[in-house]
Amino acid sequence: MTPLPSKKNIAVFSNLSAPPVQTEPLQSAVVTLNKGLMSLYHASAELQFSKPLPALLKAILKGLKTGTEISKAVIFIKEESSFNLKGLSSIGFTEKKIQETHVYITPEEESELLKLNPLPHDISSNQTRLSSFFESALDIKSPGIIPLEIRDRLIGILVYEKPDSLLHQEILIIFSRQAALTIENAKLFAKVEDMALKDTLTGLYNRRYFQQILDYELNRAKRYHQPISLIFLDVDHFKKINDTYGHSTGDQFLKQIAGKFASLFRTTDLAARYAGDEFVAILPSTNGEGSTILAQRILEVLGDHQVVIRGATLQISVSIGVATYQDLEGIGSSGLIARADKAMYEAKTQGRNCVRRFEDIKKKAVL
């Protein structure tokens, strides 16, 4: 990571006094350099990777403005596995305008950007199309463009409107490097955070995160007197698949089921791997009828889907239990899970490959 200026080093600049032979431009240069270092220090101190990436980059751009007097600047990031540059954070522009601004960069343009000198300079001769695009789209004159790269890999660009004079251009380079490192570190942080929430085999949310969200959604349902339903799914005869074809084939089988299972829910729902060959889903604001209809749909879709692994065609069969909370006092998340689990086991005892509701089981027990 780019070394940050220490307070001790900054103090050296702040304590400088001009000798009799020192010229006024040199004094001004020292003041500008000191201001740039101070703004870099304060911007860096604000960086906490628990914050969203746009907020982190905004702190860097504000420091850039203080240290260089650049009043308009935008950080574009390169989308993963594509050549699209998308506006993410800015100063001097509306958020809406930047979010709507994106541009395709050709492989040749990316290569040229990475070959640029470390010091910023007018690159319009090399990047005529990009310069023209930003001049028109952002309404800035003679835009400066600096590549944001990590280990010769382009991760974004800094586009700025050049001020009348830009002393100490190295400050601009330091800020651009800080931006590149921030983007890279934020992505790594997000990946680590994602790994903590996701099941490594299926890519679904893990049991721990499922429990957290269920607690939150159930409390919310109680507060606003809304229903919430839980679907509990278990793969039939999964042990037989493992014993016959091996655990590697069994893992691939589960991955395909998980992908199909997750595709059947709304964005407001949450699908997770509960344990082994068991999957669960939280359905906020969904009553018993609606959750049962969805469970039947899941049963049909999975039943019609065959998994082909290493030449073997495997038929999917699942047992599904459904439980719904609707203004029931004294039940918590563990109780709701237990009800959905009991309904699933009822489906097992009724011949598998079917859906059972806890409410129906409860009525039958009363009768």
- Active-site residues, by number, are 277
Distance in angstroms between the alpha carbons of the first and the last residue of the chain: 70
Dump strand ranges (E) for the chain: 73-78, 84-91, 102-104, 143-150, 153-161, 228-235, 270-275, 278-284, 306-309, 312-315, 318-325, 355-357
Which amino acid appears at position 183 of this protein?
I
3-state secondary structure of 127: coil
Cα distance between residue 252 and residue 244, in whole Å:
14
Of the candidates 5, 94, 100, 102, the one whose C-alpha atom is nearest the C-alpha of residue 45 is 5
Beta strand pairing call for 355-357 and 318-325: parallel
Of the candidates 349, 346, 348, the one whose C-alpha atom is nearest the C-alpha of residue 357 is 346
DSSP-assigned beta bridge partners for residue 229: 283, 324
Q: What is the 3-state secondary structure (H, E, C) of 78-89?
A: ECCCCCEEEEEE
Cα distance between residue 203 and residue 296, in whole Å:
24
Cα distance between residue 266 and residue 117, in whole Å:
49
Two structure tokens written together for 353: 């490959």
Sequence-distant (≥ 6) Cβ neighbours of residue 161 within 8 angstroms: 70, 71, 72, 73, 92, 138, 140, 141, 142, 143, 144
